[in-house]
Structure 1
Amino acid sequence: MSVLPPVSGPRALLADLRLFWSTRTRVQWIAGGLALIIPIGLGIAFWLDGKTNIAPGPQITYIQSWPANRTEADTRANVERVAAEKARRDAARQQDFQNADNTLTRIGL
């Protein structure tokens, strides 16, 4: 049958810690300090990164108000106008990319 040691009090704990710390060399103190600083530094870095606002800013959505007596022809004309405008913007963007590609090809990339 094994006998467990009696429970020690705070004074015995402090005495043991004082004895342990007094027998450590300078190199062990430096290694122990680094062993504490590195995870604390990483924790602070993660905490600061979590505080960084990487969410997109507020999005503004404009809603058009249409009269209640709007006809189907008005609606179709507006849809066609918006589609034509989008096609024009897409074509301009595609032309910009084509110009960039031509420039890169010309310089050998």
Structure 2
Amino acid sequence: MITIFLQAAGAPESSMMPTLLMMGAMFVGFYFLMIRPQMKKAKQEKNFQESLKVGTRVVTTSGMHGRISQIQDDGVIIETLSGKLKFEKAAISREFTQQRFPDNSEEEKK
């Protein structure tokens, strides 16, 4: 029994290289499958939050629909059907487009 452990411990140099290569390949795989997409998504969210403008229709992460009425340093004020509410910029999840939800004022002009 002791000879088996000695034989396994006697050859660490030959078995170390494939183990290091496998660990390196796993790290590269994790980087491209998990870390890089998260960084890309975070960058897109930051650009979206910086590009918000007054009058844009948005949806918050909690599902509130409204229109941005003011942009402040510490957040935005969103006008909903029930009144005006203040949210952090990070709480805005997506924007509605004019093609999906056209203004009533444009329909009245036609």
Do the two structures share a fold, i.e. TM-score over 0.5? no
**Greater RCO, 1 or 2 (C-alpha within 8 Å, sep 6+):** 2
Structure with higher Rg: it is 1
Structure showing the higher helix proportion among its residues? 1
TM-score normalised to the size of structure 2?
Answer: 0.30
